[in-house]
Amino acid sequence: MELLKIENCRKSFDGEEILKGISMSVNEGEVVSVIGPSGSGKSTLLRCACMLETMDGGVLSYAGKTAAHEKNGHVLYASHAELKEIRKTFGLVFQNFNLFPHYSVLKNITEPQMLAGKSKEDAEKKAFEMLEKLGLSDKAKSYPCQLSGGQQQRVSIARAMALEPKILFFDEPTSALDPELTGEVLKVIRDLAAMHMTMIIVTHEMSFAREVSDRMIFMENGVIRAEGTPEELFSSEDERLKSFMGRLSGN
């Protein structure tokens, strides 16, 4: 089943077109990574998909439900109630963790669940379950500043997973981490992939993307320049792609 579909997404900032008609779809259970040079529009695409930014043009749908469509040159978003339902289908993990510093780890994970209507008891049960899965059972009472970057990122993954999304978006989940901590976060994402969690991952970690992805999308200057299986992209004869992958994978 197609969980996410984006058609002809366009977005400008200050008169400059940053996304120039991007179309992509993600099926249930697929892991898709988005790669490309800095400034190519990867984060903007993710933000449009998650509705943190409004599109200037295009169609966005989740599991067949239309979140936004275009009419007479304008993008119309679904009703507040419909979008609330649609937002439940996805979760987000950012580069900088975005944890509340004045909340304990436990509260960081329970609060969004309770806002979504769960009882405190159920939210805590789920939180402990997620913490255990991510190897953080002993950190429930800690505050974010008492954790390493890798642990904080795992808490933010636990927080997202506790809401039981159908799709998880990651925007450079390891770029704020040193290599050792990067490894522990990549392991968590690998485990999620093995469990067939549907994920869209913006990353500069080429070897990780190659290993974990079913499909890779290479963006440049606001367009998708290449798309395919990791094997297809890594064996591509496209000079631009070759130089980008070669440079970032350190070959």
Ligand X SMILES: Nc1ncnc2c1ncn2[C@@H]1O[C@H](COP(=O)(O)OP(=O)(O)OP(=O)(O)O)[C@@H](O)[C@H]1O
Q: How far apart are CA 169 and CA 2, in angstroms?
A: 15
CB 182 to Mg ion: min, Å: 17
Classify the C-alpha dihedral 92-110-162-105 as positive or negative: positive
CB 234 to ligand X: min, Å: 20
Residue position matching structure tokens 């900088």: 96
Interface with ligand X (CB under 6 A), residue from 13, 52, 141, 231: 13
35 bridge partner residues = 218
69/225 with CB nearer Mg ion:
225
Neighbours of 80 (CB within 10 A): 7
Tell me which residue of 176, 167, 209 sits closest to 98, measured CA to CA.
176
Give the HSE-up count for residue 5: Cα atoms under 13 Å, Cβ half-sphere: 13
104/221 with CB nearer ligand X:
221
Q: Write each residue from 37 to 56 as x if it is in contact with Mg ion (CB under 5 A), else as -, in one continuous string.
A: ------x-------------
247 binds ligand X (CB under 6 A): no
14/239 with CB nearer ligand X:
14
Q: Give backbone dihedrals phi and psi of 8, rounded to 5 degrees, phi first.
A: 50, 45
40/89 with CB nearer ligand X:
40
> Residues binding ligand X: what is the number (CB under 6 A)?
11
Name residues contacting ligand X, limited to 30-89 (CB under 6 A): 36, 38-44
Residues that bind ligand X (CB under 6 A): 13-14, 18, 36, 38-44
